[in-house]
Amino acid sequence: MSDRMTVGFIGTGIMGASMAGHLMDAGYPLRVYNRTRDKAQGLLDRGAAWCDSPAEVARQADVVITIVGYPRDVEAVVLGPEGALSTARPGTILIDMTTSEPALAQRIHAAAKAKGVGSLDAPVSGGDTGARNGTLAIMVGGDEGDFQRVLPLFEAMGKTINRIGPAGAGQHCKMVNQILITGTMLAMAEAFTYGAKAGLDLQKVHGVVSTGAAGSSNLSNLGPRVLRGDFEPGFFVEHYVKDMGIAHKEARAMGLDLRGLELVEQVYEQIIEQGQGRKGTQAICDYIARRNGVQLPK
């Protein structure tokens, strides 16, 4: 494919708008669709063309990228009656960058292959900061040939890009990522609660521990937000609960007993029950602190 391939982009939310913007910066003509047109307005103002349905996007594009909310949304915008696959031409490549179910990625791959269409599952990690900065980690499942053809697109949006294996492997890798994050998020929440209760200056504490063995991307990127009382989403609590649910389902199917994952999933479900599902995942710090009668600094 040439650098002038037309890219369709479905899903222009917190992550998608920045990712699509990087593709425009790299010179790719863009066709966009989002359930709420207003969220695509910034891209339209820059010259992207609006399409009225996922099918219309695919009708005009060489590559169609989707990044939506839930597996049911992926199924609708790709496999539904007005989904991208319904109008995709042979040789088109569909790339789903939503965190979704491995089995759905495999089903899409099989349906696409039957029409001569390529399909990759390529979930990302890095949150809104990684999307804005073009430094996302992208984990890809699907055929090697399709991966190589669209690698320049991935390079416009991310920094660490790897094909993990066949269809579904990208989604399984993302589950590994999300399981790892469960531990770091709970640990950060409990550590900040402990430090605040002990009367420590958490800004100083954060400056020390984030550079040592306890350091992590979440501590470096989300820790400062917590310490200034910012619980707005880079990644929604409700979407993270969706991810943990997928990981838990896959783990059970493999006969695994993952107690840590189960515990953190329960904590985040409690946060949703308190009406905080649209807050950022760092809201767990506020929740754990309040549950212990501790006030974090703001």
Structure tokens at 244: 């943990």
* Alpha-carbon gap, residue 227 to 41, rounded angstroms: 32
DSSP label of 212: S
Beta bridge partners of 121: 96, 141
Q: For residue 93, give the DSSP letter.
A: E
174 is a catalytic site residue: yes
**5 exposed, middle or buried (CB, 10 Å; 0-12, 13-18, 19+)?**
middle
Strand ranges for 52-157 from DSSP E: 63-66, 93-96, 118-121, 124-125, 136-141
Closest of 162, 175, 138, 188 to residue 250, by C-alpha: 175
The three-state secondary structure class of 9 is strand
Q: Which of 174, 204, 249, 279 is catalytic?
A: 174
Which residue type does 22 have?
H
What are the tokens at 145? 């040939």
> Which residues are the active-site residues?
174
